Amino acid sequence: MTRRGDTAGGPAHEAGRWHLRGVRPLGGDPVDLLLDGGIIAEAGRDLSAVGATVLDADGLVALPGLVDLHTHLREPGREDAETVASGTRAAALGGFTTVFAMANTEPVADTAGVVEQVWRLGRDAGHCDVRPVGAVTEGLRGTRLAELGAMASSAAAVRVFSDDGNCVSDAVLMRRALEYVKAFDGVIAQHAQEPRLTEDAQMNEGAVSARLGLPGWPAAAEEAIIARDALLAGHVGSRLHVCHVSTAGSVELLRWAKSKGWRVTAEVTPHHLLLTDDLVTSFDPVYKVNPPLRTAADVAALRAGLADGTIDCIATDHAPHAPQDKETEWMAARPGMVGLETALSIAIMTMLETGLLDWAGLADRMSVAPGRIGGLPGGLTGGRANALAGGQAGGQAGGHHHPPVAGSRPSRAAAHDVHPAGAGALSLSAGAVANLVLVDPVARWTVDAGALASRGRNTPYAGRKLPGRVQATFLRGRPTVLDGKIA
């Protein structure tokens, strides 16, 4: 990737006119994009754009800017583990233009004051948009509702509420939360973990836990909550989003809930699409995560569920930790893995290279769908992107899914049949907000934990060679990443 020329009167990284040459939107045929004034001003072959900075992007795949519904930025409270600035630098390098910052900070993001603070820190850092998630209950204690309406009407305009890390286990409280957020089209993102069934739980309960003598976290503890909450969401007609789905049984339950027409969405993490619980045999807490790594059969079911749209999106659950919280015995270590900088590569490895999704499908699962669930306004991650990402996104408009037929891959078929060429999509995308990422699809890179932009070093992929490299990220027409580095 090389660039020539410059916009008059400002350095290249200011929002200005950018002429991206030879990009392949959603992996389709090469076209030029002209970014101007924060939007995609023109799209087509052999554009000439006087005064624009030219970026030779031959062969790079263009995707709408990625959206992460599940990021832990740790600020305020654990700035030693991550800050809004360091976490959003990691996000931009990973191709994200929006991250939803989880509420389990210190203090907890359970008031308008805290969510506005996080939102402002994100805006000031400028690497990507930060949309704070509000806590469902005061202090994540699961006993009283937090002031959800105040957070919704704050400058942060919170729409996603979650006690992530804790399950809203009280059925009545969960029902009330689901009902209450209807007033501002909010969604409750549930960390599905039945607390009594998972006391002291350390890893997936099964053959490996039996051998290692680590208290088990049964799949049923996740599935029981998903079943209950889906029933509640159906009963009161509210929106439920299920965080980090990790078991084959959960995929079945989600498929059933969607078949009822209930407004239930779900996410899966990159690590649950790749890693399995036999890694725990090393007792290395880098593999400790909540929900825990499951079995190969679960991984296969999660991939299939993501491919057929039963699971709507990929979310990182990026969870940075200070070294002393990981370099310890397994049981004392905190759960979590960093993931922003590796998410797209893992998605390429597990979904694209396996043929389960194409680039349009990947764009849907990592940008369009999470944007829609999180209530992002239109633009490249909203209505316009539906067109860019192909027919399958339009087919899921309104947050409802048609129940996928078991074994079929409707999203992939839609991507091919309804949206045969990238150029067609691009002609529709002129005028969209210029949030996009350019990916080198053939590059491979080796993960170096010490070289991550995140303060967290707790990546389970250290030393692994991963496919796909983010070369550039644009946020409203302004590059946040160029040549694979923070711009």
Partner 1 sequence: MMRHLLSTQDLGRDDALLVLDTAEYMATVAGRSVKKLPTLRGRTVVNLFFEDSTRTRTSFELAAKRLSADVINFSVRGSSVSKGESLKDTAQTLEAMGADAVVCRHPASGAPHRLAAWVRGSVLNAGDGIHEHPTQALLDAFTIRRRLGRVEGLSVTIVGDVLHSRVARSNVWLLSTLGASVTVVAPPTLVPVGVEQWPVAVSYDLDAVLPTSDVVMMLRVQRERMTAAFFPTEREYSRRYGLDADRLAAMPPSALVMHPGPMVRGMEIASDVADSTRSTVVEQVANGVSVRMAVLYLLLGGTREVP
Measured distance CA(467)–CA(444) in Å, rounded: 5
Beta carbons within 8 Å of 305's beta carbon, 6+ residues apart? 245, 251, 254, 255, 268, 311
CB of 208 to partner 1, least distance (A): 7
Contact segment (CB under 8 A) with partner 1 among 11-19, 187-195, 324-332, 436-444 equals 324-332
Contact segment (CB under 8 A) with partner 1 among 223-231, 322-330, 403-411, 455-463 equals 322-330
Name the DSSP class of 80.
T
For partner 1, the closer CB: 324 or 446: 324
Residue 242: other Cβ atoms inside 10 A: 27
For partner 1, the closer CB: 247 or 471: 247
Tell me how many residues contact partner 1 (CB under 8 A). Answer: 24
- Choose which of 22, 30, 218, 484 interacts with partner 1 (CB under 8 A): 218
For partner 1, the closer CB: 153 or 282: 282
- Between the alpha carbon of residue 75 and those of residues 103, 161, 280, the distances in Å are 10, 17, 29
- Choose which of 332, 397, 406, 442 interacts with partner 1 (CB under 8 A): 332
DSSP string, 143-199: SSB--HHHHHHSTT---EE--TTS----HHHHHHHHHHGGGGT-EEEE----TGGGT
Binding residues among 154-213 for partner 1 as defined by CB under 8 A: 202, 205-213
Q: Do residues 164 and 316 touch, judged by C-beta distance below 8 A?
A: no
Q: Do residues 127 and 91 touch, judged by C-beta distance below 8 A?
A: yes
Name the DSSP class of 378.
S
Active-site residue, selected from the candidate residues 317, 358, 364, 440: 317
CB of 165 to partner 1, least distance (A): 19
Q: Is-catalytic flag, 200? A: no
For partner 1, the closer CB: 184 or 330: 330
For partner 1, the closer CB: 259 or 282: 282
Residue 327, interface with partner 1 (CB under 8 A)? yes
Residue 421, interface with partner 1 (CB under 8 A)? no
For partner 1, the closer CB: 88 or 250: 250
- Choose which of 328, 354, 408, 446 interacts with partner 1 (CB under 8 A): 328
H-helix or E-strand spanning residue 59: none
Measured distance CA(223)–CA(251) in Å, rounded: 9
For partner 1, what does the binding mask look like between residues 272 and 311, x meaning CB under 8 A? Answer: ----------xxx---------------------------
Of 122, 80, 126, nearest to 101 by C-alpha is 122
Contact segment (CB under 8 A) with partner 1 among 7-15, 51-59, 215-223, 226-234 equals 215-223
Of 361, 369, 359, 321, nearest to 467 by C-alpha is 359
Residue 410, interface with partner 1 (CB under 8 A)? no
C-alpha radius of gyration, the chain, whole number = 21
Measured distance CA(102)–CA(115) in Å, rounded: 10
Measured distance CA(299)–CA(338) in Å, rounded: 19
For partner 1, the closer CB: 81 or 188: 81
CB of 216 to partner 1, least distance (A): 6
- Choose which of 61, 84, 214, 470 interacts with partner 1 (CB under 8 A): 214
Active site residues: 317
Contact residues: partner 1, CB under 8 A: 202, 205-216, 218, 282-284, 324, 327-332
